[in-house]
């Protein structure tokens, strides 16, 4: 509380993120050492026009600015959005198993994005900006459906939340598959997208998701205190002066917006929103003001690490990053489930 120690978690998290950003930029078919990375970036920062840049550096320049930097930026943004919204959903449902993937929001967003993509919206930048909006509509539908279905009286028990999530998620996925088969031309790419990790390349998708993810996460970070109060239940929250219904709406909207933007161009990547907030909670406590911001930073680092693995394990072949997060996250999910059961949460 206000002691110098309060900054330590942030310092550690930022160092971890910086290390992952460096690795993500450096590692690939060509390894680019830190020195070269700094030279290339220095060149650009000093505004040296392309024709005057060092020819030794030009292949690095292309790899860095056309491929690795946009990919790194996209991965970090998606990881941050999924972890931050996962933490927010957990607080909102007062349920440790809530995660954008498990409660079906990601599938709903995927369906929304698929609809937009099958209309060929992403051909223009404006169309690209509209994909997250379509995904957001899908996400809101699923989260409201899951919430309504899983509510028992005034609480949302973990078991019914997950069951409703599975059902609604399967339904959305089935519709997505139908659209996929319908749009047979781009089927391969779309399947890859669905598995998570076939991020659209280049800077445009990064710019297209940026406002949604920044906006959604900024709102969530501002709701940290409100989420703390909400942990005591709606009634006590109201008695403490919190407009609980309004807070719920704002958090659902912001978390779904961030999730939808993340899913729009990176596909459905599971478990990030479960694993990262959980580890943050175990290490640094449950204060949502801290939890959400730390989940955001570490979510970016976590997905970058998963992406580096996905690129390296079968290099030069790339695995979808969703496979890595599921391999790490599914056992973690089972562990959380066991722990929740031992604490008689069912």
Q: Using the minimum distance from each CB to another protein, give the nearer residue, 95 or 150.
A: 95
* Least separation in angstroms between CB 248 and another protein: 13
CB 227 within 8 A of CB 160: no
* Least separation in angstroms between CB 236 and another protein: 6
Binding mask 75-94 for another protein (x = CB under 8 A): -------------------x
Q: Using the minimum distance from each CB to another protein, give the nearer residue, 53 or 94.
A: 94
SS3 state at 265:
helix
Residues 166 and 319: their CA atoms lie apart, in Å, by 25
Residues 203 and 205: their CA atoms lie apart, in Å, by 6
Residue 53, token pair as written in the block: 């840049």
Binding mask 284-303 for another protein (x = CB under 8 A): -xxx-x--------------
Q: Using the minimum distance from each CB to another protein, give the nearer residue, 199 or 291.
A: 291
Binding mask 185-224 for another protein (x = CB under 8 A): -------------------------------------x-x
Residue 65, token pair as written in the block: 């600015």
Residues 225 and 42: their CA atoms lie apart, in Å, by 41
* Least separation in angstroms between CB 233 and another protein: 7
* Least separation in angstroms between CB 94 and another protein: 8
Residues in 223-252 at the binding interface with another protein, rule: CB under 8 A = 224-226, 228-229, 231-233, 235-236, 238-244
- List residues bridging with 152 in a β-sheet: 155
* Least separation in angstroms between CB 10 and another protein: 17
Binds another protein (CB under 8 A): choice among 281, 301, 308, 329: 281
Q: Using the minimum distance from each CB to another protein, give the nearer residue, 285 or 331.
A: 285
SS3 state at 270:
coil
Other beta carbons less than 10 A from residue 157's beta carbon: 16
Residues 170 and 273: their CA atoms lie apart, in Å, by 19
Q: Using the minimum distance from each CB to another protein, give the nearer residue, 177 or 238.
A: 238
CB 99 within 8 A of CB 274: yes
SS3 state at 41:
helix
Vertex 340 angle, CA 339 and 341, to 5°: 90
Tell me if 280 contacts another protein by CB under 8 A: no
Q: How many residues bind another protein (CB under 8 A)?
A: 25
Dump the DSSP string for 155-175: B--HHHHHHHHHHHHHHHHHH
Q: Of 106, 119, 84, nearest to 266 (Cα)? A: 106
Q: Of 269, 339, 314, nearest to 96 (Cα)? A: 339
* Least separation in angstroms between CB 179 and another protein: 41
Give the footprint of another protein on this chain (CB under 8 A). Answer: 1, 94, 222, 224-226, 228-229, 231-233, 235-236, 238-244, 281, 285-287, 289
């Amino acid at each position: 509380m206000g002691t110098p120690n309060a900054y330590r978690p942030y310092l550690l998290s930022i160092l971890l993120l910086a290390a992952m950003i460096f690795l993500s930029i450096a590692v690939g078919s060509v390894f680019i050492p830190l020195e070269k990375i700094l030279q290339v970036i220095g060149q650009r920062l000093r505004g040296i026009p392309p024709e005057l840049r060092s020819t030794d550096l030009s292949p690095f320049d292309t790899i860095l600015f056309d491929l690795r930097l946009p990919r790194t930026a996209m991965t970090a943004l998606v990881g941050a959005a999924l972890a931050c919204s996962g933490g927010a959903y957990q607080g909102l449902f007062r349920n440790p198993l809530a995660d954008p993937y498990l409660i079906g929001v990601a599938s709903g967003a995927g369906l929304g994005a698929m609809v937009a993509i099958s209309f060929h919206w992403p051909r223009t930048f404006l169309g690209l900006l509209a994909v997250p909006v379509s995904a957001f509509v899908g996400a809101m539908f699923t989260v409201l459906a899951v919430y309504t279905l899983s509510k028992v009286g005034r609480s949302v028990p973990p078991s019914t939340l997950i069951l409703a999530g599975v059902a609604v998620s399967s339904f959305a996925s089935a519709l997505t598959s139908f659209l996929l088969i319908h749009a047979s031309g781009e089927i391969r790419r779309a399947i890859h997208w669905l598995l998570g990790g076939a991020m659209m390349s280049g800077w445009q998708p990064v710019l297209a998701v940026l406002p949604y993810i920044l906006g959604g996460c900024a709102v969530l970070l501002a709701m940290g205190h409100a989420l703390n109060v909400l942990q005591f239940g709606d009634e006590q929250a109201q008695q403490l002066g919190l407009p609980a219904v309004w807070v719920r709406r704002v958090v659902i909207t912001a978390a779904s917006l961030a999730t939808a933007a993340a899913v729009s161009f990176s596909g459905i990547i599971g478990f990030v929103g479960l694993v990262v907030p959980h580890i943050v909670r175990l290490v640094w406590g449950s204060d949502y003001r801290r939890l959400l911001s730390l989940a955001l930073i570490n979510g970016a680092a976590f997905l970058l690490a998963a992406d580096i693995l996905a690129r390296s394990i079968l290099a030069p072949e790339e695995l979808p990053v969703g496979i890595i997060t599921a391999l790490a996250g599914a056992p973690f999910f089972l562990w959380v489930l066991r722990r929740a059961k031992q604490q008689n949460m069912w």
